[in-house]
Amino acid sequence: MNHSRLAIESLAAEITLLKNSHRACSVELDLALHDLRRRYSQILANLDRQIADRMERARAWAEANPSEFGRAKSLELAHAVIGFRTGQPQLKPLAGFNWRRILRRLKSVPHYAGLIRVTEEVNKQRILLQRNQLGHSQLHQLGLRVVQEESFFVEPKFAKSESRHTLAA
């Protein structure tokens, strides 16, 4: 490996060219994706509306004609199978109740304690904020240490005519 200043200048120039090419390519890709999304979003929205309308009409027909299904929950047609699926069981509050009120009721009866979920986790952000007050020895007693890793970088210098805005636009 060559350790000269000239070698690192050359290597930094290569990295700069590669990073600039990468960024320009990413911007071009983002612009192309944006155009595609814009072009197809209207088409997809129109198709979604048409599908929703026809699904509603098909559901209304199925509800109005239960005899067509017999004992089955589905009906095979020439182009599709239509029917009703039973979803997964869900809990919903009764009229006049909300989840906060239900939680209070569960808490009021010790027998229901197992029906309450409690999530405990270390509050890392608060410990970091209080790391100076806690001190190294207390952190160590808790089994913690504060680290701040260093990473190497090569930051390309942009020509005056080439700003971040011109590439991102």
What pLDDT, on a 0 to 100 scale, did the predictor assign at position 162?
A: 54
Average predicted confidence (pLDDT) for the chain: 90
d(CA 95, CA 166): 57
Q: How far apart are the first and last CA of the chain?
A: 40
Cα 40–Cα 45–Cα 60 angle in degrees, nearest 5: 145
Number of domains in the chain: 1
Instruction: Note whether residue 142 is domain-resident.
Output: no
Domain membership flag for residue 58 = yes
| Residues 18-50 pLDDT 10s | 999 999 999 999 999 999 999 999 999 999 999
Helix segments in the chain, DSSP class H: 5-64, 99-108, 124-129, 131-142, 164-168
Residue 57 pLDDT > 90: yes
Structural domain including 58 reads 1-86
> What tens digit of pLDDT does each residue of 117-151 get?
999 999 999 999 999 999 999 999 999 999 999 88
Say if 165 falls within a structural domain: no
145 part of a folded domain: no
Res 161: pLDDT: 53
What does R_g of the chain's alpha carbons equal in angstroms? 31
Q: 41 in a domain, yes or no? A: yes
Is 105 a member of any domain? Answer: no
Determine, yes or no, domain membership for 13.
Answer: yes
Helix (H, G, I), strand (E, B) or coil at 63: helix
Do 156 and 19 meet the contact criterion of CB atoms below 8 Å apart? yes
User: Which pTM value belongs to this model?
Assistant: 0.53
Mean pLDDT of the region 53-62? 95
